[in-house]
């Protein structure tokens, strides 16, 4: 494990003639080595199913899903990402096959295909598995309307897999986290996720309209808790696209914290070009640029989420 002093000594030894690109490359190599050597967090006693939801688009929901998942893997956890968004952006960022016809969440929910038959390993991150979403999922909302117990299809699929459960039932090979990336709507796909999960993570953009529409999401969570899933709770609110240079961002963060208190993670995710670039290379920022502020912030946010599970 390299300390800040080690990095400072290393930087001092770099020849002044090195170009900025060379220095950036060396920095990234050091960051990758550091990522591999990070001490593991304690594993939760049982699989934690976390639903990433916000019907407001453009808040960093999918970006946060894949980067929190990747960060948890780097912290020694075994993670499954379930892509429930027909756009398939989480599948793209994790570099898994999701062309039309690829078995994924559509087959899982509509056809009842077993979870084991639709899971793919993420090539960039050993320990991370993915259920991809294809464009076929766009029609699932309509097709599920006539299906018996349509709200519980994902819940049954997860409960039927041998890697979901506690140490006694699922063993050491269990998934520590299942993170479900919802579409930006409150339809049947999102309801399926909320019924299957125990925790909701809500990404909120640090902008003027941050809390707009959040009330409807919270009402939906309350409805699901009252009628379908009494265990459901909003466990984490993550402030994204935070620009420390503006008063607006600080004001929004303060307002969100006043509303939600300890549910708001202490770590804010900064607005970052590197975070935005990573999916175009089929990567999360955790592997694309591990030493960037965005990657380090997601790593710290993942630690906070992991510690929430330890405390419970």
pLDDT digits (tens, 9 = 90+) for 138-185: 999 899 988 888 999 999 999 999 999 999 999 999 999 999 999 999
For the CA atoms of 307, 68, 125, 273, the dihedral, rounded to the nearest 10 degrees, stands at -140
Q: In the numeric block, which tokens belong to residue 109?
A: 């929910």
Q: What region, left, alpha or beta, does residue 95 occupy, with left being phi > 0 and alpha being psi -120 to 50 degrees? A: left
Cα–Cα distance measured from residue 224 to residue 66, given in angstroms and rounded to the nearest whole number: 25
Q: In the numeric block, which tokens belong to residue 241?
A: 């696209």
Q: Across the chain, where does the E strand assignment appear? A: 48-52, 79-83, 120-121, 128-131, 177-181, 199-205, 233-240
Which residues on neighbouring strands pair with residue 130, listed in sequence order? 81, 120
Domain boundaries, the chain: 1-37, 42-311
Buried-state track 178-191, b at ≥16 Cβ within 10 A, e below 16: bbbbbbbebebbbb
Mean pLDDT of the chain: 88
pTM of the model: 0.87
Q: What is the maximum span of the chain, computed from C-alpha positions, in angstroms?
A: 69
Contact 230, 198 (CB under 8 A): no
CATH class for the region spanning 42-311:
alpha beta
Q: Across 32-176, where does the E strand assignment appear? A: 48-52, 79-83, 120-121, 128-131
Predicted confidence (pLDDT) per residue in 273-306, tens digit: 999 999 999 999 999 999 999 999 999 999 999 9
């Amino acid at each position: 494990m390299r300390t800040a002093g080690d990095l400072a000594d290393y930087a001092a030894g770099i020849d002044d003639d090195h170009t900025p690109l060379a220095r950036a490359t060396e920095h990234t190599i050091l960051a990758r080595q550091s990522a591999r050597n990070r001490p593991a967090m304690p594993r939760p006693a049982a699989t934690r199913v976390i639903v990433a939801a916000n019907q407001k688009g453009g808040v960093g929901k999918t970006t946060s899903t894949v980067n929190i998942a990747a960060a948890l893997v780097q912290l020694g956890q075994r993670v499954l990402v379930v892509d429930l968004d027909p756009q398939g952006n989480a599948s793209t960022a994790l570099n898994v096959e999701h062309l039309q016809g690829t078995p994924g969440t559509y087959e899982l929910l509509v056809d009842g295909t077993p979870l084991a038959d639709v899971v793919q390993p993420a090539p960039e991150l050993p320990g991370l598995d993915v259920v991809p979403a294809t464009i076929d999922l766009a029609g699932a909302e309509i097709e599920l309307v006539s299906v018996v117990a349509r709200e519980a299809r994902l819940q049954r699929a997860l409960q039927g897999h041998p890697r979901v459960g506690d140490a006694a039932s699922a063993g050491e090979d269990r998934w520590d986290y299942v993170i479900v990336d919802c579409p930006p709507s409150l339809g049947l796909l999102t309801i399926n996720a909320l019924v299957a999960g125990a925790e909701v993570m809500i990404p909120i953009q640090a902008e003027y309209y941050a809390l707009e529409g959040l009330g409807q999401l919270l009402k939906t969570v309350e409805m699901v808790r009252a009628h379908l899933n009494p265990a459901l709770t909003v466990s984490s609110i993550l402030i994204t696209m935070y620009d420390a240079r503006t008063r607006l961002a600080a004001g929004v963060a303060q307002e969100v914290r006043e509303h939600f208190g300890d549910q708001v993670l202490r770590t804010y995710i900064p607005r970052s070009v590197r975070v935005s670039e990573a999916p175009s290379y089929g990567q999360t920022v955790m592997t694309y640029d591990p030493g960037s502020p965005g990657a380090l912030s997601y790593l710290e946010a993942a630690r906070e989420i992991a510690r929430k599970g330890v405390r419970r």
